[in-house]
Structure 1
Amino acid sequence: MTSDLVIDVRNVTKRFGGLVAVNNCSLAVRRGSVTGLIGPNGAGKSSLFNIVAGNIVPDDGQVIFDGTDVTGMKPHQLFGIGMLRTFQIAHEFSQMTALENLMMVPGDQPGEHLIDTWFRPRLVRSRETEVRKKALDVIDFLKLGHVRNELAGNLSGGQKKLLELGRTMMVDAKVVLLDEVAAGVNKTLLNDLAANIERMNRELGYTFFVIEHDMDLIGRLCDPVIVMAQGEKIAEGPMADIRANPAIVEAYFGTPVEAA
């Protein structure tokens, strides 16, 4: 039976010298959700996010992904089993077009192997046609057709974030980790980005785990929202409940926050 939990963090602890960044923390991301992770600077949320993404190995505890213990697995290994991450600073291939950037994503394409290019050219062409069609479908979904042949390095910050989102659509992602998706994006493109995340969740069934400082974006996209402080999970629920909790508002937002 398939578990409702796609990510299950169990009693994870991470120390950096004498600093306990994550302290016996447990949390979960449910399949089909857009789950937010927030907290003040130093709360441990970035460390926990990096542990889930495979960039940091925890000292104690487990990360279970889709029923499998993936604790300590590297990002490329997690990519291979369906956990994808976008970054605060987009990592595009700047001298390739937007379309070519998307076509680079699927792994183990026949054209990557010299023997196949020599002796199986029909297979190479067939797979390339298939990948190109999918990339064009993704570009159409994200409404990036007007920049599909533009060098990715020339795109705006928001367009680069959309392109990163498109990369996650080129493979069968079980969960997408969104790292500060609002950073460096103007309000117009941020609205487009948020709308596409909502569409991917609603129409295509994508699960998202979001770390973000923009509370308005978190409030729009995420349910539930998980709050961390001092390395521990301290609250979880709809953003309206988080905003309405006086203890959380005072301790972790500094000033009262208007209810959404």
Structure 2
Amino acid sequence: MSDIAKERIILHVENLRKHFGGVKAVDGCNLEVEKGRITGLIGPNGAGKTTTFRCITGFHKPDSGVVRLKGKEISGLPPYAIFHNGLCRTFQLTGQLEKMTVLENVMLAAKKQYGEVFWNNILRIKKVKKQEEELMGKAMKLLELVDLQDKWDVLAGSLSVGQKRLVEFARTEMAEPEVVLLDEPTAGINPTLINSMVEYIQKFNKEKGRTYLIISHDMNFMMKLCNPIFVMNMGKTILKGRPEEVMEDEEVLNAYLGA
């Protein structure tokens, strides 16, 4: 890797390991994500992809290895600290507050909300109200971008799986992260919505300079969207390459076919 490429690395995972008893869920994972790129992470079931995400984002504490974000080590930090350092993630199972509206769910992700400090609601009520109006406008624009503006006042629990994924995607954008980790963003949604998801990710990547690291079993989705792609198998990173290189690699084919 050239010096210029190294300077562009925003997320660096080195020799990451996480074992659960005798199970080596992650056993030497290495990833490098360049700023402004859409990077993929694929592998057969049980390869360790989601556990890697959980270690990167603080939901698991790695047994060993290093995770760096913008050159700063974040290994072992709690999720809220990693979030405030500019890294967000979505989950395989969508997580909304189902008794709150779609708009309220998106607004929740905004950082540094004055209303979260109790005394501000008494002493700085005008400032709190003004910020809330600004955040509401911003959240509505995001809902328009993912074509959910007509659902803004609907309870999140009543949405379809695909719509919930779009709410989660919009909520992630509300936080204005530098790096977004998407875990199976197409799971359970129809082909039309998958195409829309591709467009939304590309749009935010191009217009906002958002960096993505994506896990998905949908190979068409990944090949269309991601470059480069990392491949994991049995807890290890076995390959990094362009989509066409990955699809033709014998080691990758063996991993998927169980050879």
Q: TM-score, normalised by structure 2?
A: 0.93
Which residue does the alignment assign to 1:53?
57
Q: Which one-letter code corresponds to 1:253 in the other structure?
A: Y
Q: Please give the secondary structure, in 2, of the residue aligned with 1:114.
A: coil
Q: Could you tell me whether the CA contact under 8 Å between 1:97 and 1:150 is conserved in 2?
A: yes
Does structure 1 retain, via aligned residues, the 8 Å contact 2:110–2:175? yes
**What pairs up with 1:109-188 in 2 under 5 angstroms?**
109-188=113-192
Q: Distance in 2 between matches of 1:24 and 1:116?
A: 47
8 Å Cα contact 1:99/1:135 also seen in 2: yes
Q: Structure 1 residue 16 and structure 2 residue 27: aligned? A: no
Question: Conserved in 2, the CA contact under 8 Å of 1:35 and 1:224?
Answer: yes
Q: Do structure 1's residue 252 and structure 2's residue 243 form an aligned pair? A: no
How much is the aligned-residue C-alpha RMSD, in angstroms? 1.8
Paired residues, number? 255
Most deviating of 78-87 and 18-27: 18-27
Asked if 1:36 corresponds to 2:40, the answer is yes
1:94–1:152 Cα contact (<8 Å) kept: yes
Q: Secondary structure at the match of 1:183?
A: coil
- Could you list the runs of 5+ residues in structure 1 that have no partner in the other structure? 256-260
Return the offset for 1:114: 2.8
Aligned to 1:258: none
User: Cα 1:114–1:60, aligned 2, differ >3 Å: closer, same or farther?
Assistant: closer
Query: Is the Cα contact below 8 Å between 2:182 and 2:213 reproduced in 1?
Result: yes
Deviation of 1:19 after TM superposition, in Å, equals 2.3
Q: Distance in 1 between matches of 2:59 and 2:83?
A: 12
1:223 and 2:227 correspond: yes
Runs of 4+ in 1 over 6 A off after TM superposition: none
The 8 Å contact of residues 3 and 66 in structure 1, kept in 2 or not, is answered as no
Partner of 2:139, secondary structure, is helix
**Unaligned regions of 5+ residues in structure 2, if any?**
none
Q: CA deviation at 1:31?
A: 0.6
Deviations 1:14-47 (A, max 9, x none): 2221222222222211111111111112222222
Residue deviations 1:191-236 (CA, integer Å, cap 9, x gap):
2122111111122111111111111111111111100112211111
Say if 1:3 and 1:67, in contact at 8 Å, map to a contact too: no
8 Å Cα contact 1:109-1:127 kept in structure 2? yes
- Cα distance in 2, alignment partners of residues 4 and 172 from structure 1: 19
Q: What does residue 193 of structure 1 align with?
A: 197
